[in-house]
């Protein structure tokens, strides 16, 4: 079941000049109306509203054509009412006109599937960022072989288990990522229309942490990619990684 819906709106300016920046700022101000701005959220997630917006910026975006890695600006909007996200995307694109292109990735927060109470207790992290946040967005999918396994089979990959390929006892996803538990806030968005859809991602993974913990994030990524520790990654198709930081407004 989808609990809340989210959209990441990646904005690439055609030209980075004063006029375009002014349009961007104005458009950002308009779409933010009625949402809680997460820049002010220096607390735990439990107190927060479901209707949130955050503005992210990447000072040095790459020269790509995919509209995601080229984006210097991202708005991340979350709401319980899915049609509102489409309205906001349309509104943003309309207000920006030719000044910028907008590429959207959408997903929904769902109840965890593989997380037992014990795993929840082991891997739960508090949200303590806000105005000091580094933010990483990585869309990804899993292979057909992953989705052809039963839910119970998939479940084992998140726990220490015996790897069928090597016969060794391995850490599994959660333990391989252990170093990030205390310092990296994470959120998983599922494709709300289902998995294995052509030209769409199964998941959007989203992380935030303070500056000094970015190296830990990189270590966690390396560790998860090591299929001798985490065989689950054999089934992962990684999308591009967008990195930026949270700003009060664009
Ligand atoms: C920072 C430490 C991390 C911890 C403690 C952690 C833990 C977990 C746990 C417990 C789940 C299972 C959720 C469920 O029950 O549905 C999960 C799912 C997932 N994690 Fe992580 N994770 C971490 C970092 C990462 C990173 C860095 C990535 C990718 C770059 C990632 C990608 C995913 C994906 C794609 C899923 C969904 C997999 C699926 O449902 O098949 N995780 N993670």
Domains of the chain: which residue ranges?
Answer: 2-110, 117-245
Environment class of 199 (CB within 10 Å of its CB; exposed 0-12, middle 13-18, buried 19+): exposed
Q: Residue with the nearest Cα to atom 14 of ligand 1?
A: 112
**pLDDT (0 to 100) of residue 164:** 93
Q: What Cα–Cα distance (Å) separates residue 149 from each residue in 63, 89, 138, 144, 156?
A: 39, 36, 24, 9, 11
Ligand 1: distance of its center to the CA of 93 in Å? 32
Report the C-alpha gap between 191 and 43 in whole angstroms.
Answer: 28
**pLDDT (0 to 100) of residue 124:** 85
Q: Residue with the nearest Cα to atom 34 of ligand 1?
A: 205
The CATH class for the domain spanning 117-245 reads alpha beta
Environment class of 215 (CB within 10 Å of its CB; exposed 0-12, middle 13-18, buried 19+): exposed
**pLDDT (0 to 100) of residue 46:** 46
Same fold, 2-110 and 117-245: yes
Cβ < 6 A, ligand 1 pocket: 112-115, 119, 123, 138, 140, 142, 158, 173-174, 177, 180-181, 184, 186, 188, 203, 205, 220-221, 224
Residues (pLDDT < 50) of the chain are 46
Mutation test residue for ligand 1: of 188, 210, 213, the one with most atoms within 8 Å of CB: 188
Ligand 1: distance of its center to the CA of 10 in Å? 23
**pLDDT (0 to 100) of residue 44:** 56
pTM of the model: 0.95
**pLDDT (0 to 100) of residue 128:** 61
Q: Residue with the nearest Cα to atom 30 of ligand 1?
A: 221
Mutation test residue for ligand 1: of 110, 125, 177, the one with most atoms within 8 Å of CB: 177
**pLDDT (0 to 100) of residue 125:** 74
**pLDDT (0 to 100) of residue 228:** 97
The CATH class for the domain spanning 2-110 reads alpha beta
Kindly state the DSSP code that residue 233 receives in the 8-state scheme.
G
**pLDDT (0 to 100) of residue 5:** 96
Ramachandran assignment for 185, one of left (phi > 0), alpha (psi -120 to 50 degrees), beta (any other): beta
Mutation test residue for ligand 1: of 157, 205, 235, 241, the one with most atoms within 8 Å of CB: 205
**pLDDT (0 to 100) of residue 133:** 84
Structure token pair of residue 194: 């289902």
Asked whether the beta carbons of 6 and 108 are under 8 A apart, the reply is: yes
What's the count of helices (H) and strands (E) in the chain, helices before strands? 7, 12
């Amino acid at each position: 079941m989808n609990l809340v819906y989210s959209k990441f709106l990646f904005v690439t300016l055609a030209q980075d000049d004063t006029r375009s920046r002014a349009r961007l700022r104005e458009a950002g101000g308009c779409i933010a109306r009625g949402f809680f701005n997460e820049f002010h959220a220096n607390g735990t997630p439990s107190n927060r509203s479901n209707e949130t917006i955050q503005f992210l910026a990447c000072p040095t975006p790459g020269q790509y054509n995919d509209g995601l890695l080229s984006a210097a600006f991202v708005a991340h909007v979350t709401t319980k009412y899915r049609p509102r996200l489409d309205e906001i995307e349309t509104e943003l694109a309309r207000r920006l006109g030719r000044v910028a292109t907008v590429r959207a990735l959408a997903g929904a927060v769902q109840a965890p599937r593989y997380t037992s109470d014990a795993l929840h207790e082991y891997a739960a992290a508090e949200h303590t960022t806000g105005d000091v946040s580094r933010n990483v967005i990585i869309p990804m999918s899993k292979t057909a072989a992953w989705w052809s396994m039963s839910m119970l089979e998939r479940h084992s990959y998140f726990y220490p288990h015996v790897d069928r390929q090597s016969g060794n006892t391995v850490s599994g996803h959660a333990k391989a990522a252990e170093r990030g538990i205390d310092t990296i806030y994470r959120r998983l968005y599922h494709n709300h229309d289902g998995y294995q859809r052509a030209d769409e991602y199964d998941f959007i993974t989203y992380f935030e942490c303070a500056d000094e913990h970015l190296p830990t994030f990189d270590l966690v990524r390396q560790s998860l990619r090591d299929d001798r520790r985490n065989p689950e990654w054999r089934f992962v198709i990684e999308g591009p990684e967008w990195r930026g930081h949270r700003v009060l407004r664009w």
